[in-house]
Amino acid sequence: MRRDVFQAIADPTRRAIIALIAIQAMSPSAIADHFSMSRQAISKHMKILTECELIRADHQGREIYYQLEIEKMKDIDKWLEQFRKVWETSFNQLDDLLSTIKQQNK
């Protein structure tokens, strides 16, 4: 089964992992140290993130460091952009309505 980025970010643990490695590349054990779950569980989350191409593993000698794939994060932002415009329009309309009500109450 092919997963997509939205399935990957649906899980709070995976979002936390993304936030961690957005700051700097980290080894699997360094990532696991931030969570109170087994390394196997973290490994499963890392596998899903890798399958969705949100993170990639870089081998440096014997060590593996995971880092964020910014381009895939842009896919999420593009999808959200359509809703951002709707929200902004709604908020602007609400601001206008509130200003009108304030003016009427003076």
Helix ranges restricted to H, the chain:
5-9, 12-23, 28-32, 39-51, 70-105
Q: What structural domains does the chain harbor? A: 5-105 (1.10.10.10)
Q: What is the pTM of this model?
A: 0.75
pLDDT tens readout for residues 42-100: 999 999 999 999 999 999 999 999 999 988 888 888 888 888 888 888 888 888 888 88
Q: What is the number of other CB atoms lying within 10 angstroms of the CB of residue 10?
A: 11
